[in-house]
């Protein structure tokens, strides 16, 4: 049982002090009030988790103390104690918000149990309240786009303008650029923000399964359909749905989607009745939809219906100035479990990241920083914490900057092995682990390059 601040109110000194003694032995902080008026004064001066008050007292009785607690400190629980118990007063006290009503004389164990239950109730209520606040804060904060480059500032401006217009949007960008994050931000800033957001990968389902998932089915529409199933379009009523990888949607499904967009209704598989739907459709793809239209792989009418507005998410290679911000953001995210979180990146490691092309875009950078946070042993991310192929890039960059020449494959491997050995203080077992080869293979390479002396 958690310890608490408890106010004991009783105009009988012996009863008051005996109860206070029992509660203090349980580890609680106890404040005593000799009458109802003193209790009201105590409530103005301090906060309490629990108030235990006698019912019959001169001038200010227990019911008035109860009313004051519920007005001034509504999260505190109140236990009424009286030697003149009646059903009517008990009912009245409970209706007024008392946790329990105890008759004198009482058993000490019963009081201990009631105190524990009252404090548990308060703890649970406080926990639920905190969780609700956290959820509300997360919803209010919404998704965050990390970056201060001109292209990111332009993207943020476009999103804020597009979000308020309740129309279809196509989000274009390479794999890993954060198209779903952009979609979530559009939803968060839109009038539909309090409704559901759902992302569906159109390339992850067969045509039959995608149709069933999006539109649902009627009972006995096919073998195994034992009841009506609402599709995802219906479950997102009032909200926003993201159709990711829209370029992979089969042509027959594109016809059905076009009807949903035009008619604001759908027909379940095996159904005959139109079902009205109210939702905003966002589409994302890494393909050139206009080129897909020219090849006959995407319907032109759906293309024009979807692309009322278009957002282009730039690749990471076109906004390199955002790499340090993103890297530190991911580092804080994945090192938070450590006793001492790692929040810094050594200049040499950052230089490698700044000169890397990132074909996997932001997603690849996130994976790199997650790995670095897991393997690092120092207070900051060093070159040794990066993947081996990125460590090798530093050697290539260093050599090319010094000599302004290209390396042969053998020269590159020889210098990289030498650099790794130098980094691990000539520990060949550790060097072999980093290189991803066994110790015998490393020994053969050292002999081949005459490095085994």
Residues 16-57 have pLDDT tens digits of: 999 999 999 988 999 999 999 999 999 999 999 999 999 888
- Dump pLDDT digits (tens) for 420-435: 887 778 888 888 888 8
In this predicted model, what pLDDT tens digit does every residue of 55-67 receive, in sequence order? 888 889 989 999 9
The residue written with tokens 């990125």 in the block is: 390
Separation between Cα atoms, residue 268 and residue 275, nearest integer Å = 8
Question: Token pair of 253, please?
Answer: 């499904």
| 247 DSSP 8-state letter | G
Look at residue 7 and tell me whether its pLDDT is greater than 80: yes
- In percent, how much of the chain has pLDDT > 90? 47
Q: Is 121 helix (H, G, I), strand (E, B) or coil?
A: helix
Output the CA–CA distances (angstroms, integers) from residue 92 to 101, 122, 410, in the order listed: 10, 21, 91
Name the residue ranges covered by the structural domains of the chain.
Answer: 5-137, 150-314, 318-448
Task: Give the model's pLDDT for residue 138.
Answer: 52
pLDDT digit string, tens, across residues 383-420 = 889 988 787 766 555 554 444 455 667 777 787 788 78
Cα distance between residue 159 and residue 189, in whole Å? 8
Q: Which stretches within 205-358 are classed as H helix?
A: 207-215, 232-235, 251-263, 289-294, 300-306, 323-335, 347-354
Return the CATH number of the domain spanning residue range 150-314. 3.40.50.300
- What's the pLDDT score for residue 402? 46
Confidence at residue 104, expressed as pLDDT on a 0 to 100 scale: 81
Peptide bond before residue 11 is cis, with ω within 30 degrees of 0: no
Find out whether the peptide bond into 239 is cis, omega within 30 degrees of 0.
no
**What CA–CA distance (Å, rounded) separates 270 from 223?**
11
* Run of H or E including 23: helix 13-25
Q: Mean pLDDT for the chain?
A: 86
Cα 213 from Cα 201, distance rounded (Å): 11
Q: Identify which of 230, 234, 240 has the alpha carbon closest to the alpha carbon of residue 195.
A: 240
Q: In terms of Cα–Cα distance, which of 377, 376, 378, 352 is closest to 365?
A: 352
Query: pLDDT digits over 77-110, tens only?
Result: 999 988 776 777 778 888 888 888 888 888 888 8
DSSP-derived 3-state class of residue 208: helix
Topology match between the domains 5-137 and 150-314: yes
Q: How far apart are CA 418 and CA 424, in angstroms?
A: 10
> Which pLDDT score, from 0 to 100, does residue 283 have?
96
Of 363, 305, 318, 362, nearest to 170 by C-alpha is 305
CATH of 5-137, one of 2.40.420.20, 3.40.1080.10, 3.40.50.2300, 3.40.50.1100: 3.40.50.2300
User: Residue 283, Cα to own-chain centre: how many angstroms?
Assistant: 23
DSSP state letter for 348: H
Among 105, 118, 103, CA closest to 69: 118
pLDDT at residue 133 is higher than 70: no
pLDDT of amino acid 302: 94
Q: How far is CA 134 from CA 127, 140, 196, 201, in A?
A: 11, 10, 18, 29
Architecture per CATH, domain 318-448, reads as Orthogonal Bundle (1.10)
> Considering the entire predicted model, what is its pTM?
0.60
User: Helix or strand or coil: residue 336?
Assistant: coil
């Amino acid at each position: 049982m958690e310890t608490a601040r408890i106010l004991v109110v009783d105009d009988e000194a012996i009863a008051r002090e005996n109860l206070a003694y029992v509660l203090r032995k349980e580890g609680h902080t106890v404040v005593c009030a000799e009458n109802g008026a003193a209790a009201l004064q105590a409530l103005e001066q301090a906060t309490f988790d629990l108030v235990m008050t006698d019912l019959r007292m001169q001038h200010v009785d227990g019911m008035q103390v109860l009313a004051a607690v519920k007005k001034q400190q509504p999260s505190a629980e109140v236990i009424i104690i009286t030697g003149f118990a009646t059903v009517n007063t008990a009912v009245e006290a409970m209706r007024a918000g008392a946790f329990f009503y105890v008759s004198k004389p009482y058993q000490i164990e019963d009081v201990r149990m009631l105190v524990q239950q009252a404090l548990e109730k308060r703890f649970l209520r406080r926990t639920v309240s905190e969780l609700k606040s956290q959820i509300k804060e997360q919803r209010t904060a919404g998704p965050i786009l990390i970056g201060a480059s001109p292209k990111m500032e332009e993207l943020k401006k476009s999103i804020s303008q597009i979000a308020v217009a309740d129309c279809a949007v196509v989000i274009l960008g390479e794999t890993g650029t954060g198209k779903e994050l952009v979609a979530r931000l559009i939803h968060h800033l839109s009038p539909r923000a309090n409704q559901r957001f759902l992302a569906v990968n159109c390339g992850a389902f067969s045509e039959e399964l995608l149709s069933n998932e999006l539109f649902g089915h009627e009972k006995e529409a096919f073998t195994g359909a034992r009841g009506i199933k609402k599709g995802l379009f219906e479950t997102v009523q009032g909200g926003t749905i993201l159709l990711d990888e829209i370029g992979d949607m089969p042509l027959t499904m594109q016809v059905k989607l076009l009807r949903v967009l035009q008619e604001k209704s759908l027909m379940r598989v095996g159904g005959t009745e139109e079902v009205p739907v109210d939702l905003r459709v966002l589409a994302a793809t890494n393909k050139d939809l206009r080129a897909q239209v020219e090849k006959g792989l995407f319907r032109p009418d759906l293309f024009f219906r979807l692309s009322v507005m278009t957002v282009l998410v730039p690749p990471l290679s076109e906004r390199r100035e955002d790499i340090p911000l993103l890297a530190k953001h991911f580092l804080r995210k994945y090192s938070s479990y450590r006793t001492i979180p790692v929040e810094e990146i050594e200049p040499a490691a950052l230089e490698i990241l700044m000169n890397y092309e990132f074909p996997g875009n932001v997603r690849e950078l996130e994976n790199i920083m997650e790995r670095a946070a897991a393997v690092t042993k120092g207070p900051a991310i060093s070159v040794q914490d990066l993947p081996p192929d990125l460590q090798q890039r530093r050697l290539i960059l260093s050599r090319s900057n010094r000599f302004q020449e290209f390396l042969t494959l053998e020269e590159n491997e020889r210098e990289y092995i030498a650099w790794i050995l130098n980094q691990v203080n000539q520990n060949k077992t550790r060097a072999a682990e980093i290189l991803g080869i066994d110790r015998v293979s490393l020994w053969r390479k050292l002999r081949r390059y005459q490095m085994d002396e």
